[in-house]
A and B are shown apart, each in its own frame.
Chain A
């Protein structure tokens, strides 16, 4: 193959190289086609947010309507609710999730290999569960008539049953607890991986100087974790406009009574698109999510680069 004769080519070497590498390019075709289909075509589809989609005439013949969809979106109070919920939940998840993960990582670094494996295995288990199974677990605890909390905790204490699935005020706490429960094992292992790399002699020297446990954590452990903390927080910050669809849709069981505290951009977009046939508002909300998400991830990275180059994502 390499000996193909190309008498008229002006740069024979280059063409040769390309022909030689042709099999390599061919290998990439399925993957690149999939990215085109699954990722790049939908990017162009963002322009649908400026159309009045009508399936009967087809997407491409649907009329352009400028910013109408955005106007409709912001006329409702839903717009405020979904952006508020998405951002506030993420904020709570970042702060509490990071603190919990670091605490657990420090605890893990204090135990021996044998027990470490048992602990690690069990705290990672929730991370492997599907949203469907998690919603069943939540239901076992929160069900009004025979849930564990009402039946085995509140009643024995002489307290009144709480109707969890129709009381939106409890859901910020419920969803935060479930999020932390599901994710703390995963993120604590990331921090733990950095912790085991810390040189033991730092701690030994600190102890000779009479440092307490807290002082060791504050002056040795946390500074060593700095880069990991910044990187992980920046990754999450870049996803501030996104939420775990399963957590916010399936765990509250798509319950209308709870929308005030459980509706996020992702659940709103889904309901508008597939349940309420409100594609206009849905696509406008989705458009804002994509664009704001992109700006955020770029911005977060630029700022990190300036502050601490090692922690930047790219």
Chain B
């Protein structure tokens, strides 16, 4: 710690308090907007001190909003299934790569690592998935592309196994007659809960927040939209109609779109699980960033 005078002990607190507010206040503004009466919102704009509160937006979502509840359950579904598959595949690939003496393990580790240096990008990926594997407009489009396994996490987990699980323990389990999969599940995994938790968190967050797979691969089946897709779609449509009416001088009917308050309420609902869960897992999340952040 830098040693200094009394005055400069206050300075860090003041600066950090300001930064903390810049991070939290925008979210508060969003939340307040969702509780603001629609007329007040249109008249006075977004405000930290709304003149009139209203629960109308939430009543709308939970009563009439079948599409929204549906999108919400799809998001929960792909987050759970995707994260479980992601963790399983990551661990299954990382474990053999951490075993000393496995023939060809360096080559395979390189195959994993190389994908972090070089990739085909969106065009070939999209063409492969949509033309060869016909993934468009299926639930697999939300689960498989990009997020099913991260090569970075594989290397992270492998390094953890290598440094934290002594070979002697694995050998002992083998002597007792445990199969490879048994050794992995009964011996190695219980000793690796921090790293398993970290990759699970990262993967869960990635699935929950993703909207790109829906954007790329869901063309007709908008009923498969995740909550993030519903959000982006509503905002872009509203903006598109507005720009069109400005450019062409036509008054486009905005009544078909949900009101501003309702849109903000959906954003709050999409955000809520992350904000609720996060404080509880904050410690392991920070640890995960530090472990994974600098070097793989």
B-contacting residues of A (Cβ < 8 Å)? 17-18, 21, 23-25, 27-28, 30-32, 34-35, 37-46, 48-49, 53, 55, 58-59, 104, 106-111, 115, 117-126, 128-133, 135-137, 139-141, 143, 145-148, 150-152, 165-166, 181, 184-186, 189-190, 193, 200, 203-204, 206-207, 213, 216-217, 220-221, 228, 231-232, 245-246, 250, 253-257, 266, 269-270, 273-274, 279, 282-283, 286-287, 289-290, 293-294, 297-298, 313-314
Return the contact of B282 from the options A120, A141, A286 (Cβ within 8 A).
Answer: A120
Q: Is the CB of B267 within 8 A of A228?
A: no
Given contacts A40-B115, A135-B235, A246-B212, contact A115 B121 (CB under 8 A): no
3 tightest A-B contacts by CB?
A: A45-B124, A42-B120, A31-B93
Restricting to B78-124, which residues have a CB under 8 Å from any CB of A? 88-90, 92-93, 95-97, 99, 102-103, 108, 111-113, 115, 117-124
CA distance A206 to B126 in the complex (A): 58
Q: Is the CB of B211 within 8 A of A130?
A: yes
Which chain B residue lies CB-closest to A17? B103
A-contacting residues of B (Cβ < 8 Å)? 1-5, 8-9, 12-13, 15-16, 19-20, 22-24, 26-27, 29-30, 33, 41-47, 88-90, 92-93, 95-97, 99, 102-103, 108, 111-113, 115, 117-128, 131-133, 144-146, 148-149, 151, 154, 179-181, 184, 205, 208-212, 216, 228-229, 231-232, 235-236, 239, 243, 246, 260, 263-264, 267, 270-271, 274-275, 278-279, 282, 285-286, 289-290, 293-295
Q: Is the CB of B23 within 8 A of A132?
A: no
Q: Is the CB of B16 within 8 A of A151?
A: no
Interface of B is mostly: helix
Return the contact of A124 from the options B124, B179, B181, B285 (Cβ within 8 A).
Answer: B285
CA distance A227 to B13 in the complex (A): 27
B286 contacts which chain A residues (CB < 8 A)?
A: 120, 124, 189
Distance in angstroms from A83 CB to nearest chain B CB is: 15
Which chain B residue lies CB-closest to A31? B93
* Besides the known contacts A32-B111, A143-B45, A216-B4, 11 further A-B residue pairs in the complex with CB atoms under 8 A apart: A42-B124, A46-B120, A130-B208, A133-B270, A136-B235, A150-B45, A152-B46, A165-B243, A255-B239, A286-B121, A286-B124
B293 contacts which chain A residues (CB < 8 A)?
A: 186, 189-190, 193
Q: Is the CB of A24 within 8 A of B99?
A: yes
Q: Is the CB of B149 within 8 A of A34?
A: yes
Most B CB contacts (10 A, CB to CB) among A104, A141, A213 go to A213
Given contacts A109-B1, A122-B23, A129-B209, contact A190 B289 (CB under 8 A): yes
Distance in angstroms from B114 CB to nearest chain A CB is: 9
CA distance A31 to B5 in the complex (A): 55
Q: Is the CB of A38 within 8 A of B19?
A: no
Distance in angstroms from B116 CB to nearest chain A CB is: 9
Q: Is the CB of B239 within 8 A of A165?
A: yes
B128 contacts which chain A residues (CB < 8 A)?
A: 37, 41-42, 45
Q: Is the CB of B103 within 8 A of A18?
A: yes
A189 contacts which chain B residues (CB < 8 A)?
A: 286, 289-290, 293
Q: Is the CB of A128 within 8 A of B179?
A: no
Q: Is the CB of B232 within 8 A of A250?
A: yes
Distance in angstroms from B21 CB to nearest chain A CB is: 8
- A selection of 5 A-B contacts at a CB cut-off of 8 Å is A45-B124, A106-B2, A124-B282, A135-B235, A148-B45
Return the contact of A190 from the options B144, B231, B270, B294 (Cβ within 8 A).
Answer: B294
Q: Is the CB of A286 within 8 A of B123?
A: yes
Return the contact of B45 from the options A151, A186, A273, A294 (Cβ within 8 A).
Answer: A151
Which chain A residue lies CB-closest to B201? A128
Q: Is the CB of A45 within 8 A of B127?
A: yes
Return the contact of B274 from the options A55, A129, A200, A313 (Cβ within 8 A).
Answer: A129
CA distance A41 to B129 in the complex (A): 10
Most B CB contacts (10 A, CB to CB) among A53, A107, A256 go to A107
B246 contacts which chain A residues (CB < 8 A)?
A: 166
CA distance A43 to B208 in the complex (A): 27
Given contacts A45-B128, A181-B23, contact A136 B120 (CB under 8 A): no
Q: Is the CB of A213 within 8 A of B235?
A: no
CA distance A183 to B181 in the complex (A): 39
Q: Is the CB of B278 within 8 A of A132?
A: no
CA distance A135 to B96 in the complex (A): 42
Given contacts A39-B115, A39-B151, A255-B239, contact A148 B47 (CB under 8 A): yes
CA distance A254 to B233 in the complex (A): 11
CA distance A29 to B236 in the complex (A): 41
Q: Is the CB of B46 within 8 A of A147?
A: yes
B4 contacts which chain A residues (CB < 8 A)?
A: 213, 216
Return the contact of A140 from the options B26, B99, B294 (Cβ within 8 A).
Answer: B26
A246 contacts which chain B residues (CB < 8 A)?
A: 211-212
Q: Is the CB of B96 within 8 A of A24?
A: yes
Q: Is the CB of A23 within 8 A of B181?
A: yes
Return the contact of A136 from the options B15, B45, B180, B231 (Cβ within 8 A).
Answer: B231
